[in-house]
Each structure stands twice: as structure tokens, then as C-alpha cells.
Amino acid sequence: MPRVDEDRSTRRASFMADERGQTFPFAVTLLFALFIVCAVAIDVGQAVNRRVFLQIVADAGAFTGATEMARGMNTIGDLNLWIQRAWGALTFATVGFTVTACPVSDLGVSGYRVFYGATNTMIQLVNIGYGIRARSEAERVTVYNAMDLFPGERLEMRETDLMNGIVSPRPAFRLVDLQEVPDGTRPSAPALSGARKNPTWSCLNVKPPFVEPRSRRFGLWYEKRPGAPIAFVWVVKAPATRARLFDRFFGGRVIPQMTAVAAAKPVGGNIKEGKAEYVAKLIPVRQFKSFEWDRVARRLRQVLH
């Protein structure tokens, strides 16, 4: 009996040794697989966070650009209202409704022209100045935010993305396309008549007394050109970068280059009516996705042939 028990103990010990030998490779493989999964999760999380940060930077830039546009358009609205008030004062004094003394009529016309010339110059300067400032401020805010969210990296930025089919939402170096209101437009300020670019009227010449017809050409207030878009589209691109784990194993710079697009526009005001109530609002970028497929196809054919 002792001999049999000894044999059983020997076989049991041998079997346990065999089990230990089989468990070790399985445990190592499981730990390695778990490590790979954790590494992939960390790298994917890094990429997702990077994409979220990039969109935040683009949104801030677009909102800043639209805010500057709103400020400029509010200024244009205020100046536009002053032109309407001057037109109202001119119609009360002279143009086409009462027979006044010719010196008074000429003085009113000259005063309006001088005031309009100065105000119109200011409108054009504001349109150009804030058009440039919108982009420069968006770039400044983007660089400032990138210092915190993308330290040590240089982001590319531009206002529109024509390569992706986003049509330029505003004219170059201006806030908005403006045009003079058509004849007959009523100003929001009090006036005896609607807008007329070439009005005629009569005045009384006292030496000798006779009624003299007059005709002049006048500059009028502005409105947004019909169909002209008003928005600020901001594109920010981050370069490819290294992943936290296994970057060299996968060839280096595993996190790819990323691009974020954001759009914002001034809303709430009215240039034509002189309402300086514009504020910035973020809007969906898809509003500006207007691929011209025929043009793209022609370009592809040119490249292929």
C-alpha cells in the first residue's frame, strides 16, 4: 500500500506541474492582449480629445470673426440711419414739396452733399476695416487658444475652405456687399418722400422774382445686396502628431492630420433700416456646403487627361 500511495502522489505532482506550464503562456498572452487594448484605448482617446479641442478652437475663431462683423455692421447701420435723417431734413427743407428761396434750397443741397460725402466715406472705411479685422481677430484668438490646447504646435488657419466646396461667405476685405437703395424706398427716419437719386424741385429766385426748376443727383443710404451672404467660416488644421503609446511600432505620428470647420454670422440687425442690433451666432457649416459637381468633374478630367 505505501508503494501505491507514493505512485499516486508522484503522478499528482507531475500533473500539477504540467498545469502550471500551460497556465503561464495563457496568462502572458492575456496580459499582453489587455495591454494592447488599453494602449489602443489611450491612443484613440487622445485622437478624440484632439479632435474635440480642434473644433473648440475653430468655433472660438469663427465666433470671434462674426462678433467683429456684427460690430462693424452695427456701425454701418448707425451711419446709414444718419444718412436717412439727413435725407429727411432735406425733404422737409427743399426737395420737390415746397417752393423755397433758391439760396435756402442750395444751402440744403450743399449741406446734404457734404454730410453724405463724409458719412459715406466712413461707411466704406468701416466696411473694409472691420472686414480685415474680422480675420485678424479670429487668427489672434485661435493662436491664443492653441497655446493651451496644442502646446508647441503650429496650426494652419484660413477663413474659407474652397477645396472642400465651401463657397466664400463674404467678399474679400469687406464685411458685406452694399448697394444704394432703389428709388422710392422709404427711410426709417421721418421724411416727406421716399428715396430719389435724381429729384427735381422748384425754388423762388427773388432777383427778379421767378420760379426756377432745379435738379440734382444725390447719394442715398445703403442696403445689403440681394443674395449676398453674410457669414464667417473659419477652418483650422492640426498637423499629425505622435501617439502616447506604440507610436514607433506603427510607423510614427499615428494621430493623423485633422481639420475642423466652424461658421458664425451676425443676426438680429438691419442695415437698410438702420437697426444696430447685430449679434454673433454659430450656425451649421452645412449651410455653406455647395459642391459644384460639374466644375469638379471638369477639373478631374483635365487632370486625368
Give tens-digit pLDDT for 219-262. Answer: 999 999 887 778 899 999 999 888 777 766 666 677 888 999 99
**22 domain residue, yes or no:** no
Which range, 164-173, 269-278, 284-293, has the best average confidence (pLDDT)?
269-278
Within-domain flag for 236: yes
* pLDDT value at residue 84: 93
Total count of domains within the chain = 1
Cβ(201)–Cβ(105) below 8 Å:
yes
**Is 196 a member of any domain?**
yes
Q: Is residue 124 pLDDT above 80, yes or no? A: yes
Q: Which of 12-26, 244-258, 268-282, 290-304 has the lowest mean pLDDT?
A: 290-304
> Is the residue at 279 inside a domain?
yes
Buried b or exposed e, range 195-226, using 16+ CB within 10 angstroms: bbeebebbbbeeeeeeeeebebebebbbbbee
In this structure, of 23-32, 170-179, 192-201, the range with the lowest mean pLDDT score is 23-32
Residue 15 lies in a domain: no
Residue 65 lies inside a defined structural domain of this protein: yes
Give φ, ψ of 182 to 5 degrees: -70, 160
Average pLDDT, the chain: 81
Asked if residues 230 and 176 have their Cβ atoms less than 8 Å apart, the reply is yes
Task: Note whether residue 17 is domain-resident.
Answer: no
* Grid cell locating 64: 470671434
Q: For 278-282, what is the mean pLDDT?
A: 94
Task: Please state the pTM of the whole predicted model.
Answer: 0.79
Worst-scoring range by mean pLDDT, 69-83, 194-208, 289-303? 289-303
Q: What pairing do the DSSP bridges indicate for beta strands 100-101 and 200-206?
A: parallel
Provide the residue range defining the domain that includes 177.
34-304
Q: How many angstroms separate the Cα of 167 from the Cα of each of 64, 246, 263, 291?
A: 20, 40, 12, 8
179 occurs within a structural domain: yes
Asked if 214 and 200 count as a contact pair (C-beta separation under 8 A), the reply is yes
> With 90 as the cut, is the pLDDT of residue 182 above it?
yes
* Sign of the CA dihedral running 166, 263, 76, 275: positive
